[in-house]
Amino acid sequence: MTAPGEHTYAEIVSQPAAWSGALDAFSAQAGALRTLFQNRTFERIIATGCGSTHYLSMTAAALLQAATGIPAEARPASEIVLFPDLTLAPRSRTLLLAISRSGSTTETVEAARVFRNRTGGPIVVITCYGDSPLAQQADIVLEAAGAREQSIAQTRSFSSMLILAQALIALAAQADPWPLSALPAIADRLLTENRELARQIGEDLSARQFFFLGSGALHGIACEAMLKMKEMSLSLSEAYHVLEFRHGPMSMVTPETVMVGLISRQAASFEYRVLDEMRARGARTLLLHTDQVARLAKPHEVEVRIVSGLPVWAEPVLYLPVLQLMAYYRALAKGQNPDHPANLDAVVLLDPLG
């Protein structure tokens, strides 16, 4: 019998090793991916998944478009299955990037089928199970087998699949992939240096609600951090684009509110102002920001300083591990077991939708 959260904690702190394993697995598929992007000029890329992997697809789509110039968008798999006329354009040369830890989620498996039937386009799958029903529909499978988990809530599986997506993006953009190999060591240092901060915030049960703010490629990461806080600790938790928070949601700010700002390099000065305004309204704030922009923040911030020296496309995955730890500690403080979140199954299996 394991202690509550034993698997979740082990899976969070083993992410650096899981990321290295994912990069090793990626190299086996690099040739096939290079051929795919060399032989086809895509007019559109759709990234899809469900829950955590839908949020992953949001970050992947943003990074893909920024790196390749190809229009890329993220759609929940159910939207592709149930509303194909709104999500697919059969006459445009489209690539589908389907992401699923299990590779068995009904909506994602069916979205790949609908995409293939309607467009005939190629499918790249990112998963932790290379023999899954979704993988069987793929032209190319990127598998993070070493990132499989005992816990229901995705942690190292999510970040390892994001590493695979970032490796795919670097290859599609013909960028030098060297920054990816630097990520595991940086993550290890982030977890070590910020474990106590994550525990302090997580165990402070006077906090009543969490808002995770992130824009651009960081919006998907903010949404995933929101979901971890919900799934693991059953806490009120929402995610918004940073400046969107002023347009209504800020009415919810109280002294029991924790605002987590995932500060981008591109819009930092605008984003810091939102957090400053919410602090002035009584909220508690936590900033996650990189060295390049941290000098713009007010002194004495409660912060996670991301020292990477990497290009901006390689950094999104680094914002997540400390926030996963924060959700883990809050779950334990609330007497929850993050290994088996209430009301959740590891995979959502449905009767056929189509």
Q: What residues line the site for ligand F1P (CB under 6 A)?
A: 49-53, 100-102, 105, 108, 152-154, 344, 346-348
Strand bridging mode 257-262 / 236-240: unpaired
Residue with smaller CB distance to ligand F1P, 134 or 217: 134
Residue with smaller CB distance to ligand F1P, 3 or 344: 344
Taking the complex as a whole, the smallest distance from the CB of residue 107 to ligand F1P amounts, in Å, to 8
Reported as half-sphere exposure (CB side, CA atoms, 13 A), residue 87 has a value of 22
* Spatial distance between the Cα atoms of 191 and 18, rounded to a whole number of angstroms: 14
Q: Who contacts 270 (Cβ-Cβ below 8 Å, separation ≥6)? A: 242, 243
Residue with smaller CB distance to ligand F1P, 76 or 316: 76
Taking the complex as a whole, the smallest distance from the CB of residue 152 to ligand F1P amounts, in Å, to 5
* Spatial distance between the Cα atoms of 321 and 326, rounded to a whole number of angstroms: 9
Question: Per DSSP, what are the bridge partners of residue 289?
Answer: 305
Taking the complex as a whole, the smallest distance from the CB of residue 228 to ligand F1P amounts, in Å, to 9
Taking the complex as a whole, the smallest distance from the CB of residue 222 to ligand F1P amounts, in Å, to 15
* Spatial distance between the Cα atoms of 340 and 6, rounded to a whole number of angstroms: 11
Q: Are 164 and 140 in contact (CB under 8 A)?
A: no
Residue with smaller CB distance to ligand F1P, 101 or 289: 101
Residue with smaller CB distance to ligand F1P, 160 or 215: 160
Please report the sign of the dihedral spanned by the C-alpha atoms of residue 330, residue 336, residue 337, residue 342.
Answer: negative
Residue with smaller CB distance to ligand F1P, 108 or 290: 108
Q: Are 159 and 320 in contact (CB under 8 A)?
A: yes
Residue with smaller CB distance to ligand F1P, 61 or 253: 61
Nearest residue relative to ligand F1P (C-beta) = 51
Q: How many CB atoms lie within 10 A of CB 309?
A: 12
Helix (H, G, I), strand (E, B) or coil at 28: helix
Residue with smaller CB distance to ligand F1P, 51 or 202: 51
Nearest one of 296, 350, 348, 306 to 152, comparing CA atoms:
348
Taking the complex as a whole, the smallest distance from the CB of residue 248 to ligand F1P amounts, in Å, to 27
* Spatial distance between the Cα atoms of 313 and 167, rounded to a whole number of angstroms: 10
Q: Are 262 and 214 in contact (CB under 8 A)?
A: yes
At residue 204, what are phi and psi to the nearest 5 degrees?
-85, 95
Taking the complex as a whole, the smallest distance from the CB of residue 260 to ligand F1P amounts, in Å, to 19
Taking the complex as a whole, the smallest distance from the CB of residue 271 to ligand F1P amounts, in Å, to 27
Taking the complex as a whole, the smallest distance from the CB of residue 51 to ligand F1P amounts, in Å, to 3
